[in-house]
Structure formats: C-alpha cells, structure tokens
Amino acid sequence: MNKRIDHPAASVVVPTFNRADDLRRCLDSLVAQTRTDFEVLVCDDGSTDDTSEVVEPYRQLLDLTYSTDANFGGPARPRNRGIKMARAPYIAFLDSDDWWAPAKLERSLAALDAGADVVYHDLWNVTSKSQTTFRERVRSAPPALPLYANMLCSGLSMPNSSVVVRAPLLHEIGGVCEDKALIAVEDFDTWLRVAQLTEKFVRLPECLGFYWNAGGNISAASERQIRRTEAVYRLHLGNLSDGDRRRAEGFLAYRLGRMAQLSGDWGVATEKLYEACRGDVAWRYKFKALWLLSFHRWFSV
C-alpha cells in the first residue's frame, strides 16, 4: 500500500535523469529524515535506465509521486513539473545525486516557520563512493542587503540541494526559467528573481547535506558554463543602478576569469582577470585576481 500524507508540510522536488543508482542513496536519505510530514516528487527527464523500478519500493516508505516525460536536457522542466504538482506550502529541491542529513528538513522547516522565506546551508563535498569522512564543504554565503544587487555584485552561493522556499514565491515568478541558454545556472536565476520579491533569506549554520562531486556535474567550470553565466547576467544587469551595474560587471569578469582558470584556459582567464583588476569590483576580488595572475606568471616562466 502506498504511503499518503493528507497535508504535507513540505514538497521535495527531485529532478533526475539516468541516475538510478544515485537515486537510491537520495531516497534513502529522505526515508531517514527526522521530520516525516513531507511528500516526494521524483521528476524524471526521460531516463532510459531502470529509474522507474528503483522508485517503486519507496512508495511504501514515502509519500512519493513519480512523474516522467520526454527528455528536456536539463533540470528546469522537471523542477517545474514538481513545482506544479507540489501540495505543500514549502518546496525543497534535492538533486538525485545528492542527499541529506537526517535533520535537514526539521531544521529548514523550523526556520521557515519562524519567518524565513528562503532557507539554505552548506553541503559536504563528496568525491568518491568509498568516502566515509567529510571535511571539505560546498560553502554557502550569508545574505547581504540589498540582496538582489549583492547577489550580482559579489555572488551568493546557495547550493541548490540545500534550498527550501515558500511555494507562492516560486509560483509568482513563474517557476524555473526553461531557456536552454541557462541550463546549469537556472537555479541562480531563480534565486535572483525570488530576491526581487523578498529579502528574507536565511543561511543555516549547519552542514545538512552532501554534494556528489565525482563527475557528471553540468555546472562544472567549462567554456559552456562561462557562456551560461554571461547569459544570466545579461538578463539582470539592466535592473541595476549604474554604480551597481559597474560593480556587477567587475565581479562577473572575476567570476569568468576564475572559471576559465579552473578549466585550464589561461588565455581567457588572463583577459578576464585583468578586466576585473581594472573594474569597479570589491578589493577582495581584485586581490584574488592579482594573486591568480601572479601565480600563473611565476609558474609559466
């Protein structure tokens, strides 16, 4: 008999594509939650593996709905299916290759019940299936006001699998943008648009989940990710004052330079990091850009 909760406190949206093995670990972490009054919406982007069979046994353990559709090629459309199906006042996002600590929902919902509109936190960085100790974090950043401008001028790290948000806010912005130019940055665009509606973002101090970083991540530094990041900034720079826009452009140059450096393209990295040094960007980013340029010059001699 399938489990059913009449009035779930949270809807957990799990987009997935051909990650049947990882999905088991993800769903096991939901079974282990200390808070149990939630529904799970597994939104499949047209998997060709045995995802549907993996999901089936969990229907007796979780209030779980499995939905599949033709492949879109990114998480935006599956997430939007989950948002539309969600019955709860709060929506949590959990990628199928990530998983949560048992107290994640309990801590997040307590913060939302206390008045937050968006809650997020650090995740433990996981680089192998055999890993048993966790020391390195995928770090989130505390919100700084004015939130929308600061997100563009200095970034706001919010690991997507940590975020829980009030459902009406997602409905008001029309859900996650499905423009394919934003694949892998659509989450950043989503939180920017939510920040135009509310500044009640709360960062929890605990590390309440695990981020799978052992390959296959579409948001890894690359030429494609550079183009995607430029695309999301093009959508939002026009909303800023002249001063904030210049600072955002300076930070974007640093961010793109850092991505290019991480992907090994020192030609683009050098151009962008010099641009950041000349731009109207916070001194800490100028210092980081100068350090990276000096490091490269020293070791390339």
pLDDT tens string for the chain (301 positions)? 688 999 999 999 999 999 999 999 999 999 999 999 999 999 999 999 999 999 999 999 999 999 999 999 999 999 999 999 999 999 999 999 999 999 999 999 999 999 999 999 999 999 998 998 999 999 999 999 999 999 999 989 999 999 999 999 999 999 999 999 999 999 999 999 999 999 999 999 999 999 999 865 555 568 899 999 999 999 999 999 999 999 999 999 999 999 999 989 999 999 999 999 999 988 999 999 999 998 766 655 4
Q: Where along the chain do its domains lie? A: 10-212, 223-300
- 96 membership: H or E segment, kind and range: none
Task: In whole angstroms, give the CA distance from residue 257 to residue 276.
Answer: 8
Radius of gyration of the chain (CA): 20
Fold of 10-212: Spore Coat Polysaccharide Biosynthesis Protein SpsA; Chain A (3.90.550)
Q: How many helices (H) and strands (E) does the chain have?
A: 11, 9
Task: In whole angstroms, give the CA distance from residue 65 to residue 11.
Answer: 10
HSE at residue 290, side-chain half, CA atoms within 13 A, is 10
